[in-house]
Structure 1
Amino acid sequence: MSGMMALVGFAAWTLVLVALVVVWRVIEVLRGKPANSWTRGAAAQTPDFVKRAEHAHLNCLENLPVFAVIVLVAQAIGKSPMVDAVAAWVLYARIAQSVTHLVGTSHILVLIRATFFAIQIALFAYLLWGLAA
């Protein structure tokens, strides 16, 4: 998988996560819940799964720009093959982290999620090192 396709996959996964939240909220509104029930700073009765989907989405938003810069700079300076070699692993680690987050928040799941996050950070560092060389 090319770096560009992994970047598209990362963006698509980010949209899938926010879609989970949006679909739940639309269903709630159709059931009669006021549309302004989720204002910022206000306590909302949100199921744990939906809260975890929101957090997984926000986690994606934190790393998507970093991955995008790495992939796009590699493309611009002719180092795409280096990124292409590991980009799929960044995407796989991101999806695994998110899925683990969606499953639950037990101690072991948090450790597993942290491992997938650490893999992404290590891959980012490797790629940045390669871009700088």
Structure 2
Amino acid sequence: MNNVSLNVLLGFVAWTLILLIVMEGLRVRLVMTGSVAANAFTPDNANLSPFMQRLARAHANCVETLPVVATLLIAALIGGRTAVTDPLAPWLLVARLVQSGAHLASLSVVAVNLRFAAFVVQIAIVVWWTIALLRG
């Protein structure tokens, strides 16, 4: 059975984990090469390269949004209301990937504007879902 909402939920979780694994893999490399002490990392990677800082922020953005997205998708799944979430769920995931990708790529004005636009798409979708699910 192909369930769009469930697949998007799992995709969002997988993307969040991928960002975490990449960040921790790079941190392990920094420790193993002696570039950074194991106890010198900050949550935002402020003492590391600009890319590592953007990676930490991209991961944090996913973690910040995941509870809202997951709750709505799970509510739709449990309540048998995936007709509400299925049509926009893939677009939400695409917008999340665009936001993260733009974040990882650059802090240029174009990248920041793209990132913000992708964020707005996600917020619009979750607001729509919330209203639609509450209406019953």
User: What TM-score bracket applies, with the shorter chain setting the length?
Assistant: over 0.9
Corresponding position of 2:41: 38
Distance 1:90 1:35 in 2: 36
SS of match in other structure, 2:51:
helix
Distance 2:7 2:116 in 1: 25
- How many angstroms does 1:41 deviate by? 8.9
TM-superposition CA deviations, 1:41-100 (whole Å, max 9, x none): 9962x1111110000000001110000110011112221122111111111100100000
Amino acid across the alignment from 2:105: V
Aligned residue pair count? 132
Using the size of structure 2 for normalisation, the TM-score is 0.90
Pick 1 or 2: higher relative contact order, CA cutoff 8 A, min separation 6: 1
Distance 2:131 2:42 in 1: 42
Kindly indicate whether the alpha-carbon contact (under 8 Å) linking 2:45 and 2:52 is maintained by their aligned counterparts in 1: no
- Structure 2 gaps, min length 5: none
Distance 2:117 2:69 in 1: 18
- Structure 1 gaps, min length 5: none
Q: 1:83 to 1:36 in 2, by over 3 A?
A: same
Residue in structure 2 matching 1:55, options 46, 54, 57: 57
Residue in structure 2 matching 1:116, options 99, 115, 118: 118
Corresponding position of 2:76: 74
Moved more, 118-127 or 80-89: 80-89
Corresponding position of 2:109: 107
TM-superposition CA deviations, 1:28-53 (whole Å, max 9, x none): 11112321121469962x11111100
Task: Indicate the RMSD between aligned Cα atoms, in angstroms.
Answer: 1.7
Q: Alignment identity in percent?
A: 36
